[in-house]
Amino acid sequence: MNTVAQIWHTIVTSNFFNFVVMVLLLAWIFKKVDLINKLENAKLNIKNVISNAENEKLKAETELLNAKKSVENLDIEIKNKIQDAEIKAETMAKNIVAMTEEKVKKIQDNVAVVVQTEEKKLSNTLSKKTAKASSELAKAHIKAVLKAHPELHDKYINQSIEELG
């Protein structure tokens, strides 16, 4: 029995026994904690995160290309819009000038009509005043002549009677 005790003592004090005990202990801990499944799950999660990051990177690159394409023709579009605006502004300016000239012409025509009307009124008024003044002057002249030559008075009366009869 002594040999069995010696063999047992040698096994217990050797590194091999300690190694086997440690391996068994670690196996029991791995099994208890289920460390392998946790490592696999962590590995799958990391793969998913990397895959998602790559997809996001591809989406971002696509968006960047789309943004670059949309900006490529921006200068040309801006120039075209500016040219269109200038053409519209010129057209509007020409229309405004034409309308203004037309209104000025109408105003000038209206002024000419008003001036002609006022000239006719003034001419009529002057003609009436001139005729009245001439009539008054002729009347005064006739009276003066008749006063100066009373014999003409009878002559004119006889002449008027002859014309009537």
Spatial CB neighbours of 153, under 8 Å, sequence gap ≥ 6: 146
- Split at pLDDT 50, 70, 90, the class of 1 is low
For the chain, give the percent of residues with pLDDT over 90: 22
**How confident is the model at residue 11, as a pLDDT?**
73
CA distance 122 to 130: 12
Greatest mean pLDDT among 14-23, 93-102, 149-158:
93-102
pLDDT in tens, 113-162: 888 988 888 888 888 888 888 888 888 888 887 788 877 777 777 887 88
- DSSP output for 83-111: HHHHHHHHHHHHHHHHHHHHHHHHHHHHH
